Amino acid sequence: MTVAKVSEITSTSTKSFEDAVERGIKRASKTLKNITGAWIADQEVEIEKGRVKGYRVRMRVTFVLED
């Protein structure tokens, strides 16, 4: 039987939402093993002086627990 756990993380980027997702997964992979997927729960942009300054994603990362 396989048991999985979900962890919610937030990641940011100055480039794009895609870059924020990639950075978040890369960082999560340093701590969490056996990541099998991620669900993007929310996307936000940070605005400064009428321009987009940053991109933020909140995602739920699924990983399989080891025996």
Which class would CATH give 4-64? alpha beta
Displacement of CA 63 from its chain's centroid (Å):
13
Per-residue pLDDT of the chain (67 residues; tens, 9 = 90+): 889 999 999 999 999 999 999 999 999 999 999 999 999 999 999 999 999 999 999 999 999 998 7
pTM for the complete prediction?
Answer: 0.87
